[in-house]
Amino acid sequence: MWAAEVSSSVTRAVVTKLAPTSLMYVPAGLRNLDPALRRAWHPLCRSSEVTATPQSFQLLGERYVAYRSLDTAVRVFLDRCPHRFAPLSLGSCEGNALRCGYHGWLFDGAGRCVEIPALGAEATVPARAQLSGPAEVFESHGMVFVAPLPPLTPKPCVAADGDTSFLKGDLPIIETRGNAGLLADNFLDMAHFPFVHANTFGADQAREVPHFSVGRDGYAFSATYEHEFLNREDPGVAAGIRPLVQRRRLTYRYSAPFHLELAIEFLDAGGSNVIGFFLTPLDDERVRIYSSLWRDDLDGSDERMRDAIDFEVAVLEEDLRLQSRYESLELPLDVTAELHTRADRSTLELRRVLRELVDAATAL
């Protein structure tokens, strides 16, 4: 037996056996820069960050330049001029085209070089004078998503977006040390609430996670369950109409690799709340977190939305205090490497989905 063992006999030497964890083989997990992730959709930035002035954004260890051209399309290319590899984000937008800020080469909206000023008007433009870009780009619910290679995974979407009964609010973008897989695991996890979120919503009554099932759909899955929580946001609590400990129903909708929509129905106070989490692996150790709220219980009040955003930021900071401190920044994909319980069904499914994505991308 490898659990710590201490003899109570005074006539025998005290023996302590510890599991030789430093010698155990732990298979490599999913890191931020796993090549398989290039076969999926990732957020590059918020739509509001893209203007006619080219901007540089990082994804999967590479830099991309993005700008909004005259025809209002978002155009995205690798942030590297094919001439002398200067960052194109220091150039300028001319209609639909992009001009490099170093020697002024001009690239049309499809990335083809159409002008080399140093060669004059009669110049023949080399065929290789062409910008590289991601395989696909699309905008949805105020965000720009790119797939570096043709994606295997579905486009991320939020059902509540576009429903006018919901008021939308964006949390500030957060950049943190971390692993996107571990953060997705954290956002799906149901057993940490009373421990990590004791100062916000985590109720002691929710220590035991009720039975729930996970419904799989390709590279996506969903799970629903109900639990008790501390409803500090409910004005009815301050007014003495309702108790602080209330019930809510949580429906998680995950899609690979790192998109999560959490729909919360307040069973006692009424109303609902949708939280979207979208994670961008920036480099091997850093992640950008985009989070937005869609709420139909705030009477359209911008002030209550600001309070709700502040509250969610506090919740997120509680998570990141722990998540940013993992020594090993990778999500184990061998499901025998860790211990799983019935309370971990959805985070176990996360590992299975990502394992399948890695296997499928590797087989191509």
**Residue ranges in contact with Fe ion by CB under 5 A:** 319
User: What tokens were used for 154?
Assistant: 């579905």
Q: Which is nearer to Fe ion, 172 or 235 (CB)?
A: 172
36 lies in the site for ligand FES, by CB under 6 A: no
Write the burial class of residue 291 (CB in 10 Å: 0-12 exposed, 13-18 middle, 19+ buried): buried
Question: Nearest approach, Cβ of 252 to Fe ion (angstroms)?
Answer: 12
If you search the block for the tokens 């369950």, which residue do you land on? 225
Q: What is the largest CA-CA distance in the chain?
A: 98
Quick one: what does residue 342 bind among Fe ion, ligand FES, none, with the CB cut-off 5 to 8 Å set by partner type?
none
**Amino acid (1-letter code) at residue 342:** R
Question: Nearest approach, Cβ of 107 to Fe ion (angstroms)?
Answer: 44
Total residues interacting with ligand FES, rule: CB under 6 A: 8
Write the burial class of residue 220 (CB in 10 Å: 0-12 exposed, 13-18 middle, 19+ buried): middle
Question: Nearest approach, Cβ of 67 to ligand FES (angstroms)?
Answer: 15
Strand partners for 248:
227, 266
Q: Which is nearer to Fe ion, 185 or 349 (CB)?
A: 185
Q: Which is nearer to Fe ion, 34 or 319 (CB)?
A: 319
Question: Nearest approach, Cβ of 202 to Fe ion (angstroms)?
Answer: 8
Question: Nearest approach, Cβ of 51 to ligand FES (angstroms)?
Answer: 21
**Amino acid (1-letter code) at residue 256:** A
Q: Which is nearer to ligand FES, 102 or 326 (CB)?
A: 102
Percent of the chain as helix, strand, coil, to the nearest 5 = 20, 30, 50
- Peptide bond between residue 235 and the one before it cis (omega within 30 degrees of 0): no
Question: Nearest approach, Cβ of 81 to ligand FES (angstroms)?
Answer: 3
Q: Which is nearer to ligand FES, 81 or 230 (CB)?
A: 81
Quick one: what does residue 81 bind among Fe ion, ligand FES, none, with the CB cut-off 5 to 8 Å set by partner type?
ligand FES
86 lies in the site for ligand FES, by CB under 6 A: yes
CB 86 within 8 A of CB 98: no
Q: Which is nearer to ligand FES, 60 or 98 (CB)?
A: 98
Question: Nearest approach, Cβ of 214 to Fe ion (angstroms)?
Answer: 19
Q: Which is nearer to ligand FES, 83 or 192 (CB)?
A: 83
Q: Which is nearer to Fe ion, 125 or 191 (CB)?
A: 191
179: nearest Cα among 60, 99, 285: 285
Quick one: what does residue 319 bind among ligand FES, Fe ion, none, with the CB cut-off 5 to 8 Å set by partner type?
Fe ion
Q: Which is nearer to ligand FES, 97 or 152 (CB)?
A: 97
DSSP 38-104: GGS-EEEEEGGG--SS-EEEEETTEEEEEEE-TTS-EEEEES--TTT---GGGSEEETTEEE-TTT-
Question: Nearest approach, Cβ of 124 to ligand FES (angstroms)?
Answer: 16
Q: Is 29 helix (H, G, I), strand (E, B) or coil?
A: coil
CB 208 within 8 A of CB 228: no
Site string for ligand FES, 95-134 (x = CB under 6 A): -----x-xx-x-----------------------------
If you search the block for the tokens 């301050």, which residue do you land on? 238
Quick one: what does residue 329 bind among ligand FES, Fe ion, none, with the CB cut-off 5 to 8 Å set by partner type?
none
DSSP 187-240: HH--SSHHHHSTTTT--GGGSSPPP--EEEETTEEEEEEEEEEE-TT-HHHHTT
Quick one: what does residue 100 bind among Fe ion, ligand FES, none, with the CB cut-off 5 to 8 Å set by partner type?
ligand FES
Residue choice 44, 59, 81, 237 for contact with ligand FES (CB under 6 A): 81
90 lies in the site for ligand FES, by CB under 6 A: no
The residues that touch ligand FES, with contacts defined as CB under 6 A, are 81, 83-84, 86, 100, 102-103, 105
